[in-house]
Amino acid sequence: MKTKPVIISLALLCLSAPVLADDDCDDPMADWQPREQLRQKLEAEGWTVYRIKVDDGCYEVKGMAPEGFSAEASFAPATFELMNLEREDDDDEDDDDDNRHDRGDGQARDKAQTDRPVPSNGIVKGRPTVTVE
């Protein structure tokens, strides 16, 4: 009589296996499109791309999403289908305190960052500006 709950439990476990599958991409390498095409596609959509690398068979992109937040996204390398999008929240609470009044166009935040003195150790917070040609 106790075999019925065991059978039902095993059946549910087997049916839930696809839900537990990971986010890895499994496109054959012969079908992959170049990273530069993904960069051009994303920049045309309004992204600012900082880096594209391969991770778990997917193209992993770090950059600024069109909505204005830092993001890390995974794309299928053959179709450029968005697999995963993670918002990269700023863990630095000091910046939030200094710029709590500025949630609009970001000009006050930019001005606050340019008016700050350079620390004596020479390390400046923030992302450097790099131009790649």
Task: Please write the tens of the pLDDT for every residue from 68-123.
Answer: 999 999 999 999 999 999 998 765 444 444 444 444 555 555 554 555 565 565 55
Whether 76 is covered by a domain: the verdict is yes
- Structural domain includes residue 133: no
Please state the pTM of the whole predicted model. 0.52
Residue of 132, 114, 133 lying closest to 124 (CA atoms): 114
- The pLDDT of residue 89 is 77
The answer to whether position 122 is within a domain reads: no
**Burial track 85-94 (b if 16+ CB lie within 10 A, e otherwise):** eeeeeeeeee
In a domain, 28, yes or no: yes
In a domain, 55, yes or no: yes
Question: Does residue 127 belong to any structural domain of this protein?
Answer: no
CATH of the domain at 67: 3.10.450.40
Q: How large is the C-alpha radius of gyration of the chain?
A: 22
Distance CA 7, CA 69 (A): 48
Residues of the domain holding 26: 22-114
Q: How many domains, the chain? A: 1
Q: Is residue 6 part of a domain?
A: no
Confidence of residue 10 (pLDDT cuts 50, 70, 90): low
